[in-house]
Structures are given as structure tokens and as C-alpha cells.
Amino acid sequence: MNRFVTYLASAAIMFAVPACAQEKGDESQNLPAPIASESASAPEPVARSSPEDFEELLDQYLAYNQRLENIAFRILSRNKDSCQETQRSIGMKPHTVFDYPSDLQMMARVYLDIETQTSVRIVAKDSPAELAGLEPGDRILQLGEYKIPDGEMGGELFEAVSAREYQHGLTHMIIERQGAEKTVELRPISICGYPAQLFYSDVANAHTNGGEIWVTSELVRATASDISLALVFSHELAHAVQRHIFETPSRELELEADRLSLIYLDRAGYDAQEAIRLWKLNPLNHKAEPSESHPSSDERLKVLLGSLALIAQARQ
């Protein structure tokens, strides 16, 4: 099952089981622990009763995921030279109806208009996929010389084929859109190999397990500015790149992630000075008391300003 289903499963499980039965099988318990940040478990979702609520959930999920992917792809693609782990990508995520839990597949068919054929779910802004003209909802019939079969095995085959085809500088994909077939040329690129994952929770949080960067739905919702969300993502990317997961959490590691986050942000074309201004205005950044693993907000601001000075100096 694709990792994005965790979002829907943890949020929409309310349609399948009563609230009192959710605790034992709650997938939020599998969420990796934060790196050098306060751990918070996702509370149980509030029970709802109508399909309209599920439709709203899907709309919310798609909007949040699109926004996160836009930001993540921009940062991951423009900082690849700083990452030990890289991967080839076109900035597109696929899905099939089989990616959803069986009790949600009917609603997914209705509200997401997906079937058994692998199709495009998310296209990141300014990615090779967007430049090639791919759109959410396109059915993927062929990648390179490999036909993608209809059915459950199609998604698995696409994953294997894409890992091979994306190694080329140029490949092609045959899609079906509104009943008509179309061939598009794709030019995969290398990006940092730490993909973003959206996780359903009403706790604003982000962390990494060293291989993926997890961002909660509440953080996406509560963070109005893309620059601010990009700074958080860059901070977690720094933890992943520096392999902080293998070290004891400390103030020094947090400050190193702060320093690198602004550099990653600047490389991606975001306004680093505006990021600091917004960071200072966010009360969440000044809430936690300093500890052995968490620096004070004054310490963090000093590091961010120092990083900003280095960025300005490098441009002279």
C-alpha cells in the first residue's frame, strides 16, 4: 500500500469502525518519532457520519498534498548536491483504487474518479511532469517500452519500471485523457532522496525518520505562508541529510538544522529574510522552554541571522 494512504486511513477510518475500536489499530501509532523535537501522538479522529464529510476529507487531502509536494519538490530538486541520498524523479505521484483500504475503495472511485488503471495523482509545480503536460487524473498506459497493465499489479509494475526509466535523460509516457491517448516526453531529474509524506493529525508537527520527511495535515493547514512551511521542511531535510537520527538529540543538532535550513531555503529561491521575519512572528517558535535538546528562541534566531549573513556575503 502506498504511504499516502496512511493519511486517508487514519482520517477516514471513522467510516469503518466505531471510535472506541480505533485505538488498537490506529495507524498513527506507526508514525516515526520526531528528530530532536517534542513527540506528540495524533489523537483519535472525531467520528462523522455522512459521505459529504468524506468528500471534504479527500478534497482537503488533495489540496494539502499538492501544496506540500510543490514545496518539497522545489527544495529537494535545488539542493540535490548537498544530499548523500538522491533519486530520479519527474515530480509526479501515481495511484490506483487498490491503494485504498477495501472499505474505502467505493468512495475513492466516486470522489477521486479513479479505477483499476494506474493514474496520475499529484503533479508538482515546475516539475518535469508538469512541463510535459501531465495532469491529475491521466491514466498511465505505458512508460518507455513497458505497457502498464490494468489491475492491482499495474501499480507495482509502474513503480519498478519508473525506477528504471527515470534513470534515462529522456523517456516517454502514453496516457489516456478523456478517452483519447496521448504521448508525452519526460525528462527525469535528480533530486534529494528524502520524499515528503503527509500524515493526518490535528497536531502541528514535522519530523524525519532519516529516510522520509513527515508533515502533519494540521501543520499544513495552520501554516499560511509557503515560505514558513518551506522553512520547516528544510529544517527536517537538514536533520535527514546530516543523519541526526543516529545521534543523541541536542541543542547543537537543532541549531545545525536551523543554519542549514535557511541555506536550503535560499537555494530553492525562497526569500530567506522574509522567512526569518515570519519565524519571529510565529508564537509556536517561542513557546517551548529551552532544554538539553532544544535551544532557546534567542539562540535559534541568532543562528538564523548568522546564516542569512553568510548567504548575503556569498552573493557579493
CATH number at residue 97: 2.30.42.10
In total, how many domains does the chain have? Answer: 2
The reply to whether 181 and 131 lie within a common domain is: yes
Kindly tell me if the per-residue pLDDT of 223 is higher than 50.
yes
What per-residue confidence (pLDDT) applies to 8? 56
Strands 171-177 and 180-186: antiparallel
Q: Are 2 and 95 in contact (CB under 8 A)?
A: yes
| Single-letter residue type at 293 | S
Write phi, then psi, for 212 (nearest 5 degrees): -130, 160
What per-residue confidence (pLDDT) applies to 26? 39
Least confident piece of the model among 74-78, 197-201, 213-217: 197-201
What percentage of the chain carries pLDDT values higher than 90?
A: 68
Local confidence band at 168 (pLDDT 50, 70, 90 cut-offs): very high
The reply to whether 153 and 218 lie within a common domain is: no
More confident residue, 149 or 6: 149
pLDDT tens per residue, range 56-113 = 877 888 899 999 999 999 999 999 999 999 999 999 999 999 988 888 888 888 888 8
Burial of 229 (0-12, 13-18, 19+ CB in 10 A): buried
The Cα–Cα gap between 171 and 248 comes to: 44
Q: Looking at 157, 191, 225, which one is the last position of a domain?
A: 191
The reply to whether 123 and 176 lie within a common domain is: yes
By C-alpha distance, which of 291, 285, 132, 275 is closest to 206?
Answer: 285
pLDDT tens per residue, range 291-316 = 778 899 999 999 999 999 999 999 88
What per-residue confidence (pLDDT) applies to 9? 55
The reply to whether 203 and 307 lie within a common domain is: yes
The reply to whether 163 and 182 lie within a common domain is: yes
Q: Looking at 191, 212, 238, which one is the last position of a domain?
A: 191
Question: Mean of the per-residue pLDDT values for the chain?
Answer: 85
What per-residue confidence (pLDDT) applies to 282? 83
Least confident piece of the model among 73-77, 105-109, 166-170, 215-219: 105-109
Does some domain include residue 18?
no
Does some domain include residue 134?
yes
Q: Looking at 133, 157, 191, which one is the last position of a domain?
A: 191
Q: Which of 39-43, 60-64, 132-136 has the highest mean pLDDT?
A: 132-136
Local confidence band at 6 (pLDDT 50, 70, 90 cut-offs): low
Which residue range(s) make up the domain with 185? 86-191
